Structure 1
Amino acid sequence: MTRAARGVALALLLAGASFSSPAAAAEPQPTGLELAESVEALGIAESIDGIDLAASIVPLRQERTQGSITTVQISADVLFAFGAADLTPAARGVIAGVAARLRGATGEVSVTGYTDSVGAPADNLRLSQQRAESVRAELARAAGGVQIKAVGRGEADPVQPNTKNGEDNPEGRAENRRVEISFSGR
């Protein structure tokens, strides 16, 4: 099973983790362990292509608020196939949940794309810009006329190390592949 297929399958499994209203956003998100237990309870393989699902589950969506600015972080592995900027079918549902909240946004709305450190920095910067633009376009369509800017940052600003002790860190790289949507209001 490809990484894209795993992402789509996981997104469908976790559809309840995407939020469609501000009230639902207050609900706690399941932990990686809880998600892994759900995968096991549904009788889905514990590993795919040798990847331990329990160890590799990245939260579909995280949210943080600082002052009046809310930032929603979405895993790029759910939004896009590997190396691509076209949205997956699962991505549209996740983005629709965020778009509903943007209708009451005030001030600037921004979409920032990030990649991990695999590949040439210029390629990662270009890919992150294309991904940010794809999410911006879908948000604008779903939110109905909200002005949104898109920026690609490539491998800048990692949230986890791409390597640990000189070794590849797949879990960290997975967290670094993300799109962040920031807005004020609601």
Structure 2
Amino acid sequence: MDDFLQLAASRQSDRAYDMTRTVEPEKLERILAAACLAPSACNAQPWKFVVVMEPELSARVGKAAAGLGMNKFAKNAPVHILVVEESMNITSFLGAKIKGKYFPLIDIGIAAAHITLAAENEGLGSCILGWFDEKEIKKLVGIPAGKRLLLDITIGYPLKEKRKKSRKPKEKTISYNKY
């Protein structure tokens, strides 16, 4: 358990990548394997991961991620894992209706956590982006107009050192047996 806590503690949102280092395909394969192992409501697996690693296309995707004034660093990310929402299976759909919860968003969040922790485990940095020009990125990589592109997870070798995490005290975020 100490190893996992160390991994979770060391994972951070990296916003500067070493452009002289290529992310090895075998590392990406292990990261994607971890993503595919993420649990989902009724095993719906409501995701598709579009991996952008070709340098020119990656730069164009990064430019679209930075195009709204945020995420300027994304232009220099060597890899983008685009997370597209796919259809729920019937049991997940019915459960979502009955419980009033939209499970694909929860499921994709879990998969994104798997991706970023697996990247950290491979010695890579990552950052989960939700603010980007969705229409432009979809056009660049051929995602159908009717699909939702929810996340762009940048991956690369980080340039900056780890920083100390700042978290709320446990008493503000954890309680036992009552709120």
Coarse TM-score class (shorter-chain normalised): under 0.3
Q: What's the TM-score once normalised by structure 2's chain length?
A: 0.28
Larger strand percent: 1
Q: What's the TM-score once normalised by structure 1's chain length?
A: 0.27
